[in-house]
Amino acid sequence: MTETALLYMVVGVVLFGMGLFALVAYPHLLRKILAMNVMGTGTFMVFIAIAHNGDNQPIDPIPHALVITGIVVAVCSTGLALALASQVQALTGQPRIDGSEREE
Amino acid sequence: MILDLLLAFALLLIAWTSLSSPDLFRSVVLFITFGLLVALVWVRLGAPDVAMAEAAVGSGLTGALLLSTLSHMRRNQRRYDASRQEKNDRNAESDDAEQKEAEVA
Amino acid sequence: MIVTPNRMMPSRKRRKLRDENYIDDDVKLTPARRVILAMVAVLTVVLVMAVFAVPDDVVRLTQLTEDRLPESGVSNTVTAVLINFRGYDTFLEVSVLLLSIIGVWSVARRARVPVKVPNTPVLRVFVRLLMPLMVIVAGYLLWIGSDVPGGAFQGGAVLGGMGVLWIAAAVDDPGSRERRLLRPLLIVGMAFFLGAGALAIVVGGSMMQYPEGEAKTWILIIESAATFSIGATLVMLFLGGQPGGSSREDGKKS
C-alpha cells in the first residue's frame, strides 16, 4: 500500500465520519443531504485509494467503474431527496425533521 | 507528499466548515469547492475518468441542484411565514369582533 | 467596492443581510450532540484501524483486465470495464437514472424554474456561444472515451451542464418540439442497453455478450444512447418537476 493511498484512505474514512455526525446531529434537511454527499465522497475515496498501485503504474479499473457508477447514483438520489425536502417544507412550513413538526 | 498533506488538510477543513456553517448558502458554495478539491484528489490517485465525472456531476450539478432548491425554499419560507402572519391577524380580528358582539349582547 | 466585515456594519444593515441569507442557527454543540460526536469518533477510529489492516497481497484485477483488453474492443480499461466486462452494472445504473426521474415527477409536480434572471447582454451572448461548444465537447468526450479517459458519463455530464445553462440563463423557452423529444430522450439509454443485451442473445451468445470483432461498434451505439439519456436526466433533476406546467412568475396552476 503506497503512502499516498494510505493517506487518502484515512482521509476518506474521516470524511465518512464527519458526514455521519452531521447526518445524525443536525435537523435541517439540506444539511442532511450535504452530509450524505460527503459520506459518499469519503467512501469513494477509500475505493480509489485501494485501486492505486503506485504513481505511474497501471490502475485497477474495477473500483473506478464502481465509483463512476456511484457518483451518478449519488446525484440521482440527491435530486430525489431535494424534491422530497421541498415537499416537506411545503407541507409543514419548515425543512426540518426533529420531531417538532407544527400542526396546521 | 507535501502536496498530498496540504490537500488532505484543506479537504477536511472545508468539509467540516461546509457541514457546520449556520449560513446555508455558504455551506453549499463550500460544498462546490469541496467537490473541486476532491477532483484534484482523483487526479492525484491516477483516476482521470473519475475526476471528470466528479467535477461535472458530483460537484457542479449537485451544487446547481442545491442552490436552486435553496433559493426556492427561501422563497417558499417567506411566503409561508407571510401567510401565517396574515392568518394570525385575521384570527385576532375575528376574536375582537366576537368580543365586541358579546359585549353588545 | 470595499467589503465591510459583518462586525463593522451598522446593525440595521446586518439584520437585512441576515434576513436575505438563509441562516439556520441550529448548529450549536448541545450535550446530546457531543455524545453523538464521541460515538462517531470512536467508530471512525475503528474504521481507520480496519483500513490499516488491509493486507498487501490482495488479489487485484489489474493484470487480468490488461490481458483481456484486446477482446473488449476499446483500449481504455475503464470504458471496457464499464460497458463490456461489467455492462450489466451500467445497465442497472442507467435504469436508476430513469427511476429517479419517475420519483421526482411523482413527488413534485411543478418545475423549479428560476424566477429572477439577470437580463444582461453578456449573459445572453455568452450562453448562446457556449451551448454549441458544449455539444461539441460532449461528442468529443464520448468518441475519445474508447482510447483515453472519457466516455459516456463524462459526455452526458457536459450535456447536462449545457441544459442547466440553457434553463438557468433563460435563453429560450423550450418549445413544444423540444418537449415532445423529452420522454424519448429519457428512455433511449436504457432501451438501447436492453435491446443490445437481448440482441446479443439472438445473435448467438448469452445476454450482453457482444459478438467478437464488432464489440467496438456495439459499445459506441450503446454509449451514444446513454449519453443522451444521462444529459436529459440531469437536466430534469435540475428542474425538479415536469417542464411546461409552470409559468415564470409564481405559477398557481399545477
pLDDT of residue C128: 86
Q: Best residue in C14, C17, C22 to probe B by mutation, most B CBs within 10 Å?
A: C22
| C62 closest CA partner among A36, A58, A43 | A58
What percent of chain A has pLDDT above 90?
A: 65
pLDDT of residue C17: 57
* Chain C residues inside the 8 Å CB shell of B53: 153-154, 157
| A17-65 residue pLDDT tens | 999 999 999 989 999 999 999 999 999 999 999 889 888 888 889 999 9
pLDDT of residue C174: 66
Q: Best residue in A1, A3, A13, A16 to probe C by mutation, most C CBs within 10 Å?
A: A13
Cβ–Cβ gap C37/A21 under 8 Å: yes
Q: Using pLDDT thresholds of 50, 70 and 90, give the confidence band for residue C246.
A: very low
Full domain range(s) for residue A49: 3-92
Q: Using pLDDT thresholds of 50, 70 and 90, give the confidence band for residue C21.
A: low
C105 contact B CB<8A: no
- Domain membership flag for residue A103: no
pLDDT of residue C23: 73
pLDDT of residue C49: 94
* Chain A residues inside the 8 Å CB shell of C37: 21, 25
- Domain membership flag for residue A40: yes
- Domain membership flag for residue A101: no
ipTM value? 0.90
| C163-199 residue pLDDT tens | 988 888 876 666 777 778 888 889 999 999 999 989 8
**Average pLDDT for chain B:** 90
Give me the residues of C, 169-228, that contact A with CB < 8 A: none
| C116-155 residue pLDDT tens | 677 788 888 888 899 999 999 999 999 999 889 999 999 9
Burial of B17 (0-12, 13-18, 19+ CB in 10 A): middle
Taking residues C214-219, report their average pLDDT.
88
| C81 closest CA partner among A40, A63, B52 | A63
C42 contact A CB<8A: no
Q: Using pLDDT thresholds of 50, 70 and 90, give the confidence band for residue A104.
A: very low
Which set of grid coordinates corresponds to residue C81? 470495464
How many domains are there within chain A? 1
Nearest chain B Cα to A78, which residue? B62
Helices (H), C84-120: 87-107
- Domain membership flag for residue A102: no
pLDDT of residue C46: 96
Cβ–Cβ gap A72/C93 under 8 Å: yes
Q: Please check the confidence at residue C87 and state whether its pLDDT lies above 80.
A: yes
Buried residues in A72-95 as b, exposed as e (16+ CB within 10 A)? bbbbbbbbbbbbbbbebbeebbbb
Nearest to B45 among A28, A48, A78 (CB): A48
Domain positions in chain C are 1-58, 60-253
- Domain membership flag for residue A104: no
- Domain membership flag for residue A11: yes
- Domain membership flag for residue A29: yes
Which sign does the torsion angle of CA C191, C194, C100, C157 carry?
negative
